[in-house]
Copies of this chain bind each other. A is one copy, B any other.
Amino acid sequence: MGYGIAQSLIRAKHDVFGYDVVAAQMERLQQEGGLNRPVAEAAVEVDCVIAVVLNAQQLESVLFGDSGIVPHLKRGACVIACPTVAPSFAKTMEARCLEHGVHYLDAPISGGAAKSAKGELSVMASGTAESFKAARPVLDAISETVFELGDSAGSGSAMKAVNQLLAGVHIATMAEAMTFGIAQGIEPARLVEVISQCAGTSWMFENRAPHIVDGDYTPHSSINIWPKDLGIVLDIARESTFSAPMTAAALQQFMAAAGSGLGAQDDAAVAKVYARNAKIELP
């Protein structure tokens, strides 16, 4: 998703320095108009840093690690932090940025690679008025919808966690329902057709169940996302002594999928765990 964000920013005539652990990605971006300079040199110039990494550990590393960018930023610059992290972690990052005079926008994103490339992401954002003001030109270039969720870091991450809880559980439940229906002799395509018109439907059911009907597990969003994201939800829940049995059950299904070698497949492939356990054949 980072690459699509960089493209959207170039399209909007921003000067964009792109960094990736994969050198080929950086070269490709330069061919599309991206700039290239060592982090410490570029940092003193930029108004915004947008961090599109996998998790909290990577976020801390790119902001404050050995070659972390925050100590080099000018005062008043803004960090836009996109990974799904715990609200408490987002608050810590905000506080550490403020020590350097740097604004921090807690800004988890959703929409996937396709919407990212089109500049049509959804952003669940929270942060100070100054951080929103500093981030606005970037947000305008990359997103279709910005939910403004509060005046400090944490609320954006909390809302993202709620969304991921629902999305992850709904995917596992879609898989349970589809395989259950198939086990009862119902045609997979008929399941999608009927359920989509009934009270049992969900955004994820309508989006993912067709992958099972088509037998197409090209990863639009992979199984491996879910042990991470539902793990974050359950970490937050444990911090709050909050019992979350639906999330816990869904996590186990994604763990079984990842553990049995399906991690890189589309997340609808969690249906293969159910199919294997019940000895039924998927399309």
Q: Which of A161, A181, A277 has the most CB of B within 10 A?
A: A181
Give chain B residues whose Cβ lies under 8 Å from the Cβ of A190. Answer: 149, 159
The answer to whether A240 touches B278 (Cβ under 8 A) is yes
- CB within 8 Å for A165 and B176 given contacts A184-B236, A200-B170: yes
The answer to whether B166 touches A195 (Cβ under 8 A) is yes
The answer to whether A87 touches B184 (Cβ under 8 A) is yes
Give chain B residues whose Cβ lies under 8 Å from the Cβ of A61. Answer: none
The answer to whether A163 touches B246 (Cβ under 8 A) is no
Give chain B residues whose Cβ lies under 8 Å from the Cβ of A249. Answer: 245-246, 248-249
The answer to whether A158 touches B170 (Cβ under 8 A) is no
- Residues facing B in A155-195 (CB within 8 A) are 155, 158-159, 161-167, 169-170, 172-174, 176-177, 179-181, 183-186, 190-191, 194-195
The answer to whether A244 touches B176 (Cβ under 8 A) is yes
- CB within 8 Å for A176 and B250 given contacts A184-B161, A200-B164, A240-B278: no
- A247 close to chain B: CB less than 8 A: yes
User: Among the listed B198, B237, B246, B253, which residue makes an inter-chain contact with A172, where contact means beta carbons less than 8 Å apart?
Assistant: B246
- A62 close to chain B: CB less than 8 A: no
User: Among the listed B155, B173, B237, which residue makes an inter-chain contact with A186, where contact means beta carbons less than 8 Å apart?
Assistant: B155
The answer to whether A180 touches B233 (Cβ under 8 A) is yes
17 cross-chain CB contacts under 8 A:
A87-B184, A124-B194, A155-B184, A158-B185, A159-B186, A162-B186, A163-B194, A164-B200, A166-B174, A166-B200, A166-B205, A167-B198, A169-B169, A173-B246, A176-B245, A201-B203, A202-B205
Further contacts, 20 of them, CB under 8 A, given A170-B173, A176-B244, A202-B203 = A87-B184, A158-B181, A158-B185, A159-B190, A159-B194, A159-B195, A162-B191, A162-B200, A163-B199, A173-B246, A176-B245, A180-B244, A183-B240, A183-B242, A184-B236, A198-B203, A199-B204, A199-B207, A202-B204, A249-B249
- Across chains A and B, which 9 residue pairs bring their CB atoms closest together, nearest first? A166-B200, A202-B202, A158-B184, A163-B200, A249-B249, A162-B181, A167-B200, A242-B278, A169-B173
Q: List the interface of chain A (C-beta within 8 A of B).
A: 87, 110, 122, 124, 145, 147, 149, 154-155, 158-159, 161-167, 169-170, 172-174, 176-177, 179-181, 183-186, 190-191, 194-195, 197-205, 207, 233, 236-237, 240-250, 252-253, 274, 277-278
